[in-house]
Amino acid sequence: MRVIFLGAPGVGKGTQAQRLAAQEKIPQISTGDILREAVKRGTPLGLKAKGFMDAGKLVPDDVVIGLVDEKLKQPEVAAGYVLDGFPRTVAQAEALDRLLQDRGITHVINLDVPRDEIVRRLSGRRSCPKCQRVYHMDSAPPAREGRCDNCGESLQQRVDDKPETIESRLAVYDRQTRPLIEYYDKKGLLHNLDATGSIERVYANVLAAVHSQRHV
Ligand code: AP5
């Protein structure tokens, strides 16, 4: 199974990708998580990416494509993987097609949520900086307030979840990422899912989509 999660910021790509990857025992490749880790460590990649991320803009294509290329060469992706947050531009999608050749993507899951719900989800999001698990203060709170259930680390709010940056990320999505819906629809890989229900309900629909139609 080689799956892409598409959708605007905050629709729940990371939440669903994490579950699917854990259940299928395949890696979740989140370009956002990889970039945030690089920023935290102050690596050359992180220094390059930080300004773009803080402003809610996309990191340049060549940087992100290089990063995914490296991940897809690792032996642990042989049995499949879940891409979360990549591709995000038509240039990235075309580069991915070239990288994968005959071992192409099997399913593209596009999650759809109205704007006011996206803003609610992003404003209440808290994440674990250590294991990247995602919570929401109302809809997915941790058992112990402010602490990750998985590793006990203190939860944090992302820098780019400020209201003005959320607006800029949504505008970038409309301009640069939304065209990918048509790109993958034309390839016959797209599954459009209403992602407004509970996390469990959306996940049930994700499972139905990835098992309904196995492209090999
Ligand atoms: P990235 O980390 O990919 O951010 P994003 O796409 O903006 O998506 P988010 O992580 O904000 O949201 P999500 O859809 O994963 O939602 P989540 O599951 O967390 O990218 C960050 C930045 O990195 C970019 O702006 C860019 O600068 C750079 N970048 C990354 N990839 C790049 C690329 N390919 N090219 C160039 N630049 C790149 O859920 C959100 C909240 O909602 C959580 O609190 C969750 O608990 C809650 N929630 C989830 N599902 C539900 C539900 N069903 N009901 C109620 N609450 C829910």
Q: Ligand 1 centre and the CA of 172: distance in Å?
A: 13
Q: What is the mean pLDDT of the chain?
A: 94
Q: Which protein residues are within 6 Å of ligand 1, measured from CB?
A: 7, 9-15, 31-32, 35, 52-53, 56-59, 64, 85-86, 88, 92, 121, 124-125, 134-136, 139-140, 160, 169, 195, 198-199, 202
Taking alpha carbons only, the member of 178, 164, 169, 215 closest to residue 10 is 169
**Which CATH class for the 2-26+79-210 domain?**
alpha beta
Q: Give the model's pLDDT for residue 32.
A: 95
Let me know: does 126 contact 133? Beta carbons within 8 Å.
no
| Residue-wise pLDDT tens digits, 39-67 | 999 999 999 999 999 999 999 999 999 99
| Residue-wise pLDDT tens digits, 100-145 | 988 899 999 999 999 999 999 999 999 998 998 999 999 899 999 9
Burial of residue 91 (number of CB atoms within 10 Å: 0-12, 13-18, 19+): middle
Calpha distance 159→79 (Å, rounded): 34
Q: Give the model's pLDDT for residue 216.
A: 44
| DSSP letter (8 states) at residue 141 | -
Mean pLDDT of 193-198: 96
By most ligand atoms within 8 Å of CB, the mutation choice from 6, 47, 58, 158 for ligand 1 is 58
89, pLDDT greater than 50: yes
Helix (H) or strand (E) holding 148: none
Q: Which amino acid is at 125?
A: R
Mean pLDDT of 90-107: 94
Residue nearest to atom 40 of ligand 1 (CA): 10
Q: Give the model's pLDDT for residue 210.
A: 95
By most ligand atoms within 8 Å of CB, the mutation choice from 30, 59, 63 for ligand 1 is 59
**DSSP SS3 for 114:** coil
| DSSP letter (8 states) at residue 176 | I
Q: What's the pLDDT band for 1 if we cut at 50, 70, 90?
A: very high
Taking alpha carbons only, the member of 124, 118, 152, 149 closest to residue 136 is 124
Domain boundaries, the chain: 2-26+79-210
